[in-house]
Amino acid sequence: MASAVSRSFLRSFRPAVRSGPVATLRSHPSPLMKVCRGYATTAEQQPHLRLGVTAPNFQAKTTHGDIDFHKYIDNSWAILFSHPADFTPVCTTELGAFAKLKDEFEKRGVKMIGLSANDLSSHAEWIKDINDIAQTNLQFPIIADADRKVAYLYDMVDQQDLTNIDQKGIAFTIRSVFIIDPAKKLRLIMLYPASVGRNTAEVLRVIDSLQTGDKKGVTTPVDWQVGDDVIVPPTVSTADAQKKFTDVREVRPYLRFTSGNTK
């Protein structure tokens, strides 16, 4: 049936009525829902996930059993990252690299969870490859998302693939990174094309920046690393900053630095 659907036909449907972070279907769902193999939204109906909103909850099967995502996060930070498919070269290198950084993420109180658009049996075999190639022991769960339900919920799909439904019948999952805080709020979203591998050091750097900012009430400049000077937010007056921090260096009235080691 999918082959008979033209792109103009796909674009002809009205957007859904939104309620919260997830789009809600109209009372009379369009025939496109059948074309999309049970997907709840079209490209125009995708939820717009903004920083600061509550991360959408979901239940899913993973390599560690069935989970409720919010319960899995509990009171920790979390990183959810998606992969287009099992047994693909870029994904294999990424998961191996993240697995090797297990201690670094745990030191920061961060739970990792991956997602790939295949079923559990495929995941299990793929993990054996990842461990062998990267010489590691992958221990975090990987979500089985063969039907792309979580991918659609978090808008992890490629628009080019979505408009190519008549050829493939199912959308491609891109490389997304979501950093979520203990309050279940989305704090960072990074989207990569499927051809580009992620930078694990940058993911850790962002987590360090977010946690430092939350703890000390500061922001971080370009290329910041732990221990570097931080920025006094514009909302804090220089007088108040001098009381709060041990040292304040004013470059401009709007750009003031203080020691990154300040308490």
Answer whether residue 28 is part of any domain: no
- Given this model, what pLDDT does residue 151 score? 86
pLDDT reading at 1 higher than 70 = no
Mean pLDDT of 178-183: 97
pLDDT in tens, 91-126: 888 999 999 999 999 999 999 999 988 888 888 888
- 55 and 86 fall within a common domain: yes
Answer whether residue 32 is part of any domain: no
Q: What domain range is 246 assigned to? A: 217-258
Q: Is residue 156 very low, low, confident or very high in pLDDT (cuts 50, 70, 90)?
A: confident
- 133 and 73 fall within a common domain: yes
Answer whether residue 163 is part of any domain: yes
Residue 173 · residue 152 · CB < 8 Å: no
- Given this model, what pLDDT does residue 232 score? 96
pLDDT reading at 85 higher than 90 = no
Number of structural domains, the chain?
2
Closest CA to 39 of 26, 27, 25, 53: 25
- 192 and 88 fall within a common domain: yes
Q: Is residue 72 very low, low, confident or very high in pLDDT (cuts 50, 70, 90)?
A: very high
For the chain, the 3-state helix, strand and coil shares in percent, each to the nearest 5, are 35, 20, 45
Q: Is residue 132 very low, low, confident or very high in pLDDT (cuts 50, 70, 90)?
A: very high
- 127 and 179 fall within a common domain: yes
Amino acid at 113: I
Which contiguous run of DSSP H or E holds residue 187?
strand 186-192
- 130 and 238 fall within a common domain: no
Closest CA to 144 of 121, 116, 172, 111: 116
pLDDT in tens, 213-263: 999 999 999 999 999 999 999 999 999 999 998 899 999 999 999 987 765
Answer whether residue 41 is part of any domain: no
Answer whether residue 75 is part of any domain: yes
Answer whether residue 181 is part of any domain: yes
- 159 and 245 fall within a common domain: no
Angle at 122 between CA 163 and CA 34, to 5 degrees: 35
Residue 138 · residue 110 · CB < 8 Å: no
pLDDT in tens, 193-212: 777 888 999 999 999 999 99
Q: Which residue has the higher pLDDT, 143 or 19?
A: 143
- 123 and 227 fall within a common domain: no
Mean of all residue pLDDT scores within the chain = 79
Answer whether residue 98 is part of any domain: yes
- 155 and 252 fall within a common domain: no
- 70 and 190 fall within a common domain: yes
Q: Could you tell me the CATH number of the domain that includes residue 53?
A: 3.40.30.10
Answer whether residue 92 is part of any domain: yes
Question: What are the residue numbers of the active site?
Answer: 91
- 132 and 235 fall within a common domain: no
The length of the chain is 263
